[in-house]
Structure 1
């Protein structure tokens, strides 16, 4: 196990050393890399521990805004990591496009199908993903698919929470330390509402309009012709002041009606109805 870093809180340092210890035995790895705070920390540590025997793989699809793909490339370059961008068409899978409660399971299965040949090509041992300890609380069928395929989640296994990930990212000077949480665009649609390229691009355009208006944490939940806008709780008053600008931007993106969710952004808000 690596030597203790006196600059870190002992508990956080212990988790970091555990993370390094989990990675050290691997004979090379692929990192599923979105450019978010979790996968960036994982890539940074893995690249350091494994001496560069790491390939970051970013999936480009209609589920990820183009700005996020560009950002992932820039971040990988800044880390000195090798990156490969691969294309995926998840909507060609009817089981995914139908958008039932197993949507994330079907999507992750397709992702693994894309990554597995790369793993063999590189002659690496494992696929790593950036789930952390907090991710086990909400409804996440995709994590079941990862477990079935033997994909490793070192951050979770090391006991790192999202707060821990941000603290370590700040410690290492990673530019993603304060980056808002992100999720694929399919998470903006209630289960049972069919996913189409047009609808996904409409949501992407709507969220970009909100970001251009100066908001950081943004979700546009699609309820047919209605856009339910979630922003960070601290930004709700700003949203009320800028309601005309926001309404115009979301209508230009293709929505007929715009509603501001007064509870603000939170993960899994589309699961609330099913939980009663």
Structure 2
């Protein structure tokens, strides 16, 4: 476990600046915490809000970002403006994540941030996750995957770092519920 944790820190430290797609969930919180610890002001957490992101989740994201100390920006997005997403196909997550990645890239460019990371981890590949393909197409990096980190590892690491959401259950967006 220690080796994975150190490897994850090194992966993040290699980036001169990093934006984290930040939902406030345990996965993106771990990435944001480590990014803040090793990159300081060169780490930026961005939460995209929309009709499919609950107010409770937004309040949680604000709370966790404050707890971490990372600079946090909230940006309105609207996947409901994407006709392909609204048709609600089986791969609707692809269209949503594609929209999100495009918005994140714009924000990264405006802030002169070279890399965008998310909280995708090895355990996510055990499920049907069409959104990962869209993120890959837009060059979003997955430091947890690169470090060989699974969901069970994340819980241990988050607890070790003192994150209050270390035992928070995974959630899906409102469109999937």
| 1:132 is the counterpart of 2:121 | yes
Cα offset, 1:166, TM superposition: 0.3
Cα offset, 1:52, TM superposition: 2.4
Partner of 2:78: 89
Which secondary structure does the structure 2 equivalent of 1:123 belong to?
coil
| 1:40 is the counterpart of 2:29 | yes
- 2 CA distance for matches of 1:181 and 1:103? 19
Which secondary structure does the structure 2 equivalent of 1:181 belong to?
coil
Partner of 2:172: 183
Partner of 1:170: 159
Partner of 2:12: 23
Cα offset, 1:98, TM superposition: 0.5
Aligned length: 177
- 2 CA distance for matches of 1:14 and 1:49? 17
- 1 CA distance for matches of 2:157 and 2:101? 28
Q: 1:152 aligns with which of 141, 157, 165?
A: 141
- 1 CA distance for matches of 2:144 and 2:172? 18
- 1 CA distance for matches of 2:146 and 2:173? 23
Partner of 1:76: 65
Which secondary structure does the structure 2 equivalent of 1:52 belong to?
helix
Cα offset, 1:102, TM superposition: 2.1
Cα offset, 1:90, TM superposition: 1.2
Which secondary structure does the structure 2 equivalent of 1:139 belong to?
coil
Which secondary structure does the structure 2 equivalent of 1:50 belong to?
helix
Which secondary structure does the structure 2 equivalent of 1:151 belong to?
coil
| 1:117 is the counterpart of 2:125 | no
- 2 CA distance for matches of 1:157 and 1:183? 23
Write out aligned runs for 1:122-271 (5 A).
Answer: 122-188=111-177
Cα offset, 1:115, TM superposition: 0.9
After superposition, the C-alpha distances for 1:7-32 in whole angstroms (9 at most, x for unaligned) are: xxxxx100011101111111101100
Cα offset, 1:165, TM superposition: 0.2
- 2 CA distance for matches of 1:121 and 1:138? 34
- 2 CA distance for matches of 1:42 and 1:23? 8
Partner of 1:13: 2
Which secondary structure does the structure 2 equivalent of 1:131 belong to?
coil
Whose helix fraction is larger, Structure 1's or Structure 2's? 2
TM-score, structure 2 as length reference = 0.97
Unaligned runs of 5+ in 2: none
